[in-house]
Amino acid sequence: MSGLEAKKILLGVTGGIAAYKSAVLLRELQRSGASVRVVMTAAAQAFIAPLTFQALTGHAVSTELLDPDQESSMSHIELARWADLILVAPASADFMARLACGLANDLLSTLCLATQAPIKLAAAMNQHMWFNPATRENCRRLEVRGVEIWGPDAGLQACGEVGPGRMLEPEDLLQKVVSLYADRPLQGVRVLMTAGPTREPIDPVRFIGNRSSGHMGYALAQVLCELGAEICLVSGPVVLPTPVGVERVDVETATQMQGAVMARVETCDIFIGVAAVADYRPLAPAPQKIKKTSASVNLELVANPDILAEVAALEQGPFTVGFAAETEGLEAYAEAKRISKGVDLIAANHVGSEKGGFESDENALLLLWDGGREALPMMSKIKLAEQLGAVITKRYRTVRG
Ligand code: C5P
């Protein structure tokens, strides 16, 4: 049993190069037991032929709104009623804009307007299109209406640029569909997390920061949310969209992060410190921009509060998970950190090597807890977050019931 038996999924395909992956996605959905019908926009047909999907589904692919022949096989209203779920993959910037406006100027947008089924969009576009304020605004409008946007993933794009915009891989999309119908093992569990870097001001325009992108924390927040948890994410400055369903609190400095965490920690069941919190901050940030008047400048630094250790030391505190980024002696240092900070689970990763770590899309983790360990090999941060989410769930249930 894979969880999609008897599920009727309408796969919408819009115009983007990722459309070639939609055929693989279709096969994955079918293999998991779903019954799938495909609707393509005109632009999608420039990238992949309807015949491909017809051969795979055994059904004619619907492409036209006002074609009497197509309407007689299954009208657009019947299709809209038939679907348990509409998944648009890839969802182009143009399609998202039309959906945000409530247009019904082709078959797929009409179906989305007519359906009662949940709609999920696997966004795929050039990174500048993704970051364009118009697209940002469209995403917000769609999310407010309950349309969930999956991805995009970051990495090398077909246009040669590197950044967010790649459609999630078919197997990742399949996982997301399956999890919609799966048990929610963290239902009712409240998770407080930190993610991203902190910025410690030197003067009004300069700060001490670090290379944390926030990807790992954000991916983990999304995974835990899909497992049913209520998530509050206290985030340092990152350029990442907030995962759907996650409450986000923006902070800049370690002291602000500590304040935001301590104000909420009493009502959480699990605390996960993913943030790369600066260990030190300038003792006295200059009130005005420091001038280039002397050959050298001394900055006096003072230690920041250790948020994770503070939470772990609370009496009747939450189940705690920490991260350890090390450049050498990974297991020994991580184990020492687990014990000294008193955390229930530590996720250790190598940084400063060629692959993985802060700015990479991939990572590997060594998970350590009292009496156990598990190594998660190098994989995308999204997949890694899924596996880490499963281990956190298991350890939390084992320790706290
Ligand atoms: O001591 P170190 O910085 O290596 O510990 C890393 C772990 O501790 C991470 O989980 C990080 O989020 C957390 N941490 C924290 N507050 C600090 C420093 C680290 O919560 N000031």
pLDDT tens, residue by residue, 38-88:
999 999 999 999 999 999 999 999 999 888 877 777 788 999 999 999 999
pLDDT of residue 242: 85
Dihedral sign of CA atoms 134, 139, 144, 145 in order = positive
Burial of 3 (0-12, 13-18, 19+ CB in 10 A): middle
**pLDDT band at 233; cut points 50, 70, 90:** very high
> Which span out of 88-102, 156-170, 210-224 was modeled with the highest average pLDDT?
88-102
- For residue 102, pLDDT over 60 is answered with yes
Helix, strand, coil percent values for the chain (each to nearest 5): 35, 25, 40
CA of 164 relative to ligand 1 center, distance in Å: 27
- For residue 390, pLDDT over 70 is answered with yes
CB-based contact 235:248 (threshold 8 Å): yes
**pLDDT band at 350; cut points 50, 70, 90:** confident
**Active site (catalytic) residues:** 159
Q: Which atom of ligand 1 is nearest to the CA of 278?
A: 21
Rounded percentage of the chain residues whose pLDDT exceeds 90: 80
Protein residue whose Cα sits closest to atom 17 of ligand 1: 306
**pLDDT band at 27; cut points 50, 70, 90:** very high
- For residue 164, pLDDT over 60 is answered with yes
Dihedral sign of CA atoms 379, 384, 390, 391 in order = positive
CA of 369 relative to ligand 1 center, distance in Å: 17
User: How far is CA 47 from its chain centroid?
Assistant: 27
Is it true that the peptide bond before 90 is cis, omega within 30 degrees of 0?
yes
In CATH, what class is 8-182?
alpha beta
CB-based contact 326:333 (threshold 8 Å): yes
Question: In whole angstroms, what is the distance from residue 150 CA to residue 292 CA?
Answer: 47
Q: What is the mean pLDDT of residues 90-95?
A: 98
| Among 308, 314, 350, 365, residue to substitute to test ligand 1 (most atoms within 8 Å of Cβ) | 308
Q: Which atom of ligand 1 is nearest to the CA of 321?
A: 10
pLDDT of residue 157: 80
- For residue 156, pLDDT over 90 is answered with no
Q: What is the mean pLDDT of residues 175-180?
A: 90
Identify which has the larger pLDDT, 128 or 144: 128
Protein residue whose Cα sits closest to atom 9 of ligand 1: 323
CB-based contact 198:276 (threshold 8 Å): yes
**pLDDT band at 145; cut points 50, 70, 90:** confident
Q: Which atom of ligand 1 is nearest to the CA of 274?
A: 12
Residue identified by tokens 């697209």 is 135
Query: Where in the chain is CATH 3.40.50.1950?
Result: 8-182
pLDDT of residue 356: 61
| Among 212, 255, 306, residue to substitute to test ligand 1 (most atoms within 8 Å of Cβ) | 306
CA of 104 relative to ligand 1 center, distance in Å: 50
Question: In whole angstroms, what is the distance from residue 79 CA to residue 184 CA?
Answer: 29
> Torsion angle, CA of 83/122/194/183, rounded to 10 degrees?
30
pLDDT of residue 43: 97
- For residue 354, pLDDT over 60 is answered with no
Alpha-helical (H) ranges within 19-146 are 19-31, 50-57, 68-73, 76-82, 93-101, 107-114, 127-131, 133-144
DSSP class of 321? E
CB-based contact 253:198 (threshold 8 Å): yes
| Among 270, 277, 358, residue to substitute to test ligand 1 (most atoms within 8 Å of Cβ) | 277
pLDDT of residue 73: 73
Question: In whole angstroms, what is the distance from residue 40 CA to residue 42 CA?
Answer: 7
Q: How do residues 264-309 score in pLDDT, each as one tens digit?
A: 999 999 999 999 999 999 999 999 999 999 999 999 999 999 999 9
Q: Is 307 in the pocket of ligand 1 (CB under 6 A)?
A: yes
pTM of the predicted model, to two decimals? 0.71
Structure tokens at 258: 């500590």
Provide the CATH topology of domain 190-400. Answer: Rossmann fold (3.40.50)
CA of 273 relative to ligand 1 center, distance in Å: 7
Q: Is 252 in the pocket of ligand 1 (CB under 6 A)?
A: no
Residue type, position 49, single letter: A
Question: In whole angstroms, what is the distance from residue 375 CA to residue 164 CA?
Answer: 28
